[in-house]
């Protein structure tokens, strides 16, 4: 979901919009960037040109709200200096997004669609049209169906403009803004896959959830528990243990009973059960929302994020939630890892899923 179309009405995009651009994933604590290059723009055999991460000072952002635009601009400026280009595609926080699904009559002129959706905006989100940027995707359906389903994403103008202003202060041009989960889907769901998948982005401070149906992001949610909270719980039980040691325990012992310290297993299981319960509630909500269409039932859970390396995590979710769960292949829509070995190690690559998906938008 790309808000550039709406933003472009007041801030016209430049003619060089198709020049190379980097994907920039902005979180409360860091900024990750990825840039690909290709000789043929086919987007099927790319080369990883640049990647990296930059710390964002504490307090600059909180739950996606920009409190200090200058500090964010400083981080974006450093990206520009490292990669040497000015065009970027930037993520927007899921916490600040509003999504809803509606229907329009098939054959409605394109120029009339936005007007119809604008009229329905106030019915579905706590924003007036004058205070919002929104964009939409038409969901593929049966050609003889008189109605078409449409997925709409909206953001408060203030939210989008705070990121836009930081980009411009940094001397970079935001080619597009996109919700995190849609970017992750572009990287982790095979091209042409029209199934329904749940994306779980297990980060440091929170766990983001997205549901993608027929290639379109339909639902997002956030659980305020991440890898950092697991570390806090482990320290209460194990004492003042360095973060590096806690990470090793998570990744080598994790949710496998009988390996290592039983106390660590108990703490991790207790903490992960909270996340699993929250995810389960969202699966139940989605699967019972529209029982008339079997293809809308969630078929798999795709795991990514910087804290997703916990040993036994996919098997645990598969068993507890009853849905096949697996760690993402974040490179599958860029190149074959059987033919190319990316310079980002596999364990670290999961945390770059959003930036990778943003960067891939230049080749779609």
pLDDT of 17 reads 46
Beta strands in the chain (DSSP E): 22-26, 30-37, 47-55, 61-62, 65-66, 87-92, 98-105, 132-138, 147-156, 173-179, 196-202, 207-213, 216-223, 300-304, 325-327
Average model confidence (pLDDT) for the chain?
89
Higher pLDDT, 300 or 289: 300
The tens digit of pLDDT for each residue in 13-63 reads: 444 445 679 999 999 989 999 999 986 655 568 999 999 999 999 999 998
Q: Are residues 319 and 293 in the same domain?
A: yes
CATH of the domain at 279: 3.30.420.40
- Specify whether 58 is located in the same domain as 89: yes
Same domain? 182 vs 247: no
Identify the CATH number of the domain in which residue 360 sits: 3.30.420.380
Q: Determine the average pLDDT of the residues in 166-173.
A: 96
**Number of domains, the chain:** 2
Statement: residue 173 has pLDDT above 50 = yes
Q: What is the pTM assigned to this prediction?
A: 0.91
Q: Are residues 357 and 213 in the same domain?
A: no
Whether 127 and 239 map to the same domain: the answer is: no
Give 112-154 pLDDT, tens digit per residue: 899 899 989 989 999 989 999 999 998 876 567 788 889 999 9
CA angle 5, 10, 14 (to 5 degrees): 65
- Who wins on pLDDT, 304 or 17? 304
Same domain assignment for residues 148 and 244:
no
| Shared domain check, 99 and 39 | yes
Instruction: Compare 100 and 291 and report the one with higher pLDDT.
Output: 100
> Each residue of 89-119: pLDDT tens digit?
999 999 999 999 999 988 888 888 998 999 8
The pLDDT tens digits of the residues spanning 306-361 come to 899 999 999 999 999 999 999 999 999 999 988 888 999 999 999 999 999 999 99
- Closest C-alpha to 32, from 84, 83, 97: 83
Give the pLDDT of residue 110: 83
Instruction: Say what angle helices 69-83 and 157-170 make with each other, to 10 degrees.
Output: 50
pLDDT for res 5: 44
- Give the list of residues 6+ apart from residue 244 with CB closer than 8 angstroms, or none: none
**Separation CA 207–CA 276 (nearest Å):** 11
Summarize the confidence of residues 240-266 as an average pLDDT.
Answer: 89
214, 149: one domain:
no
Look at the block and give the residue holding tokens 């190690």.
345
Same domain, 210 and 316: yes
Percentage, residues of the chain above pLDDT 70: 91
State whether 243 and 180 are in the same domain: no
Residues 103 and 124 in one domain: yes
Q: Does the pLDDT value for residue 205 go beyond 90?
A: no
Residue 49: what pLDDT? Answer: 94
Q: What pLDDT does residue 38 have?
A: 83
Q: Are residues 142 and 4 in the same domain?
A: yes
How large is the average pLDDT for residues 283-297? 83
What's the DSSP call for residue 312?
T
Instruction: Determine the structural domain holding residue 243 and report its residue range.
Output: 192-328
């Amino acid at each position: 979901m790309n808000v550039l179309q709406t933003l472009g009405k007041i801030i016209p995009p430049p003619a060089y919009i198709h020049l190379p651009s980097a994907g920039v994933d902005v979180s409360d604590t860091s900024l990750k960037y990825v840039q690909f290059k290709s000789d043929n723009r086919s987007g099927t055999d790319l080369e990883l040109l640049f990647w990296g991460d930059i710390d964002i000072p504490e307090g600059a952002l909180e739950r996606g709200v920009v409190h200090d635009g200058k500090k964010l601009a400083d981080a974006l400026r450093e990206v520009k200096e490292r990669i040497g280009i000015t065009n970027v595609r930037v993520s927007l926080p899921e916490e600040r997004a509003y999504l809803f699904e509606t229907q329009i009559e098939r054959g409605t002129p394109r120029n009339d669609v936005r007007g119809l959706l604008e009229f329905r905006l106030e019915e579905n989100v706590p924003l007036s049209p004058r205070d919002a940027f929104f964009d939409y995707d038409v969901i593929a359906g049966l050609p003889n169906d008189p109605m078409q389903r449409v997925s709409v994403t909206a953001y408060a103008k203030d939210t989008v403009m705070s990121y836009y202003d930081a980009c411009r202060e940094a001397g970079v041009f935001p080619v597009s803004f996109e919700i995190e989960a849609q970017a992750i889907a572009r990287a982790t769901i095979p091209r042409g896959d029209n199934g329904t998948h749940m994306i779980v982005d297990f980060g440091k401070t929170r766990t983001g959830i997205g549901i993608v149906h027929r290639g379109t992001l339909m639902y997002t949610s956030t659980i305020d528990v991440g890898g950092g909270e697991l570390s806090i719980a482990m320290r209460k039980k194990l004492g003042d243990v360095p973060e590096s040691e806690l990470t090793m325990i998570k990744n080598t012992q994790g949710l496998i009973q009988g390996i290592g310290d039983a106390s660590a297993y108990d703490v991790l299981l207790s903490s992960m059960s909270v996340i699993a319960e929250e995810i389960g509630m969202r699966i139940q909500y989605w699967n019972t929302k529209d029982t008339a269409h079997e293809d809308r039932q969630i078929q798999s859970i795709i795991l990514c994020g910087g804290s997703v390396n916990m040993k036994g995590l996919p098997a645990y979710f598969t068993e507890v939630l009853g849905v096949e769960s697996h760690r993402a292949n974040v490179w599958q829509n860029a190149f074959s890892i059987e033919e190319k070995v990316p310079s980002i190690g596999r364990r670290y690559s999961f945390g770059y899923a959003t930036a990778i998906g943003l960067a891939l938008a230049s080749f779609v």
